[in-house]
Copies of this chain bind each other. A is one copy, B any other.
């Protein structure tokens, strides 16, 4: 026996509420974008599952770019400061946003975080979202570009299972490529999956821990 149920066929509780929230979030995201533009700050979202390598990427980018740009990082996490502690060691400004039980950053939380940053002296802002490939997809924050980080260790299906987050990605980073063979995951197929959802996405293969591929990320961001 095999049956299929689609949530949108029935009355799931919160569809209408969600629509209102998303519209309000979009309005606030536009205000954030205006504020950032006014101060000449280029903002870049970084999304991905827990353990995909978002923080390692930001450590590498901070280290490589901090002489050229004044960098700030906003980091979202439920309750810890592990990620921003790691990034702060590279001498960039960090604001940790602890979301409690919330599964994503929203434009309202980012607006609060922006108040803690000296935007006049900031050139580049990275916003590391909560580790999650689903919820953050629907909440624009006011950034110009969106990076999605995936790792071969998440198996062969993480792209096809999360179409929404890849639709909006400018750059998709396939990380931990050194483990592809041990994981029996085809990097080529992952790349094909990304491009079948979003042909304009730039796909870059990295080993963020070791710094491999970081120069190509910097090129793709025009930095």
Contact = CB atoms under 8 A, between A and B. Distances in A.
Interface residues of A, number: 68
A78 interface: yes
Contacts of A108: 10, 12-13
B7 A99 contact: yes
A109 to B, nearest CB: 6
Interface in A91-130: 93-103, 106, 108-109, 112-113, 116, 118, 130
A97 B6 CA distance: 6
A7 B109 contact: yes
A65 interface: no
Interface of A: 1-8, 10, 12-14, 17, 21, 24-25, 49-51, 77-82, 84, 88, 93-103, 106, 108-109, 112-113, 116, 118, 130-135, 137-138, 151, 153-155, 157-158, 160-164, 176, 179, 182-183
